[in-house]
Amino acid sequence: MKLLLASSSKYRRSLLQQLGLPFDWASPDIDETPRADESPEQLTCRLALAKAEALAAQWPHHWIIGSDQVCVVNGRITGKPGTVEKAVTQLQACSGQRISFLTGLALIHPASGFSRVITEPFHVRFRELSTIEIRHYVEREQPLDCAGSFKVEGAGIQLFEGLEGRDFNSLIGLPMIALCELLREAGINPLLAGSGDC
């Protein structure tokens, strides 16, 4: 069994390491521009699969994991902020709101033709945030490469009233419960890997 994570994200690599399985990783080069009239669910599934398929020719005998996440605020897709001011603006829009995060997850095996794609939803209820709280948080944590402008694995948890969903890891970018389900569907049991019985 050979695993490949189709991502350059340090956050996703850290999550995948929790399974205790050896894996390689590589950065896929794809166009992530949303298509006209594409829903957030369609976008995340398409991009997760595209990331995995972009590496299929180079890694044909690996089980390739692709993932993509979007933040949906008031029905609109919100990307990574990139700048402090955009992060502040994003968090101001999230203040007091219930925000949805959709994570597309793909698992493919080019040599056998196995291919599965799912979307994992997760919802966050932000508390009412003051501008000074938001600015202090952004300056402190610099969540400029994170959809939604926060790091839930860090101080970002202080921004919330509640979390709704089956897998907290979805917020970090790799839904681990769903990934384990897909691996078992493919005949790979992460708990037994390395025992000869997987």
Task: Name the active-site residue from 29, 31, 68, 145.
Answer: 68
Report if residue 190 sits inside a domain.
no
- Average pLDDT in the chain: 93
Statement: residue 193 has pLDDT above 80: no
Q: For residue range 126-174, list pLDDT tens digits in order.
A: 999 999 999 999 999 999 988 889 988 889 999 999 999 999 999 888 9
Range of the domain at 89: 3-185
Report if residue 100 sits inside a domain.
yes
Catalytic-residue membership of 31: no
Confidence (pLDDT) at 194: 58
| Whole-angstrom distance, CA of residue 52 vs CA of residue 186 | 16
Give the number of domains in the chain.
Answer: 1
Report if residue 198 sits inside a domain.
no
Report if residue 197 sits inside a domain.
no
pLDDT bin (cut points 50, 70, 90) of residue 78 is confident
pTM of the entire structure?
Answer: 0.89
- Return the CATH number at 157: 3.90.950.10
